[in-house]
Structure 1
């Protein structure tokens, strides 16, 4: 399923519960013309910019990374991380391409709970207090 079709399905589900998710109102909130949003939803134009995908994700209450990936985009922060060590990340991503979801979940859990990640979080929390 493409980005536009997925976005339309999410918007239409939201509209069933709340009429503020009409195409016109949604377009107004994210700062585009209704006709342009309609073309995106029908797959008649290429996916929008990262900024617009982010606004749409926020408006629809959807995961930003999911919508960006469906639009064939990578968020700026992830792109910057990859650029720092492109060969390592390319190898890592290719190696994980066939891994089962359960194994990926275990790996993510290990990384999140790694000592260096906990130290980084502590430093970030302390700097937020200052």
Structure 2
């Protein structure tokens, strides 16, 4: 699996090829970090930034925040609060879903979303 830093660098450089405002310096300014820090993150010399910075980075790069948080080894605070309210129930649910193919999980999500379950 690709590291958080290498994925960020790859996505930013791909966007830079189309839009020169996606340089390391400009993206760093957009998310409120020093360019040197973002460079170290991209080279995997330092751990991924805080949840807020990862979310800002996702927005700047047009990426899914939950995906980038997972790549960074983090869980969004809203999901953490949900899990903390019923830890045993969600732990069991996730362990059961671990064995299921994606289409089965998507089917469950649709049923819950539609209220048809």
Please state which band the TM-score falls in when normalised by the shorter chain.
Answer: over 0.9
- Note the residue ranges of structure 1 that are not aligned, 5 or more in a row: 117-130
* Paired position in structure 1 for 2:98: 97
* Paired position in structure 2 for 1:26: 27
After superposition, residues 96-115 of structure 1 pair within 5 angstroms as: 96-114=97-115
Instruction: Report the Cα offset of residue 115 of structure 1.
Output: 5.9
How large is the Cα RMSD of the aligned pairs? Answer: 1.2
Q: Which structure has the greater CA radius of gyration?
A: 1
After superposition, residues 1-130 of structure 1 pair within 5 angstroms as: 1-114=2-115
User: Cα deviation per residue 1:46-92 (whole Å; 9 max; x = unaligned)?
Assistant: 11100100110111111111111110111111000000000000011
- Note the residue ranges of structure 2 that are not aligned, 5 or more in a row: none
Partner Cα separation in structure 2 for residue 7 and residue 26 of structure 1: 11
- Count of residue pairs the alignment pairs up: 116
4+ runs deviating over 6 angstroms: none
Instruction: Report the Cα offset of residue 5 of structure 1.
Output: 0.9
Partner Cα separation in structure 2 for residue 10 and residue 61 of structure 1: 9
Q: TM-score, normalised by structure 1?
A: 0.86
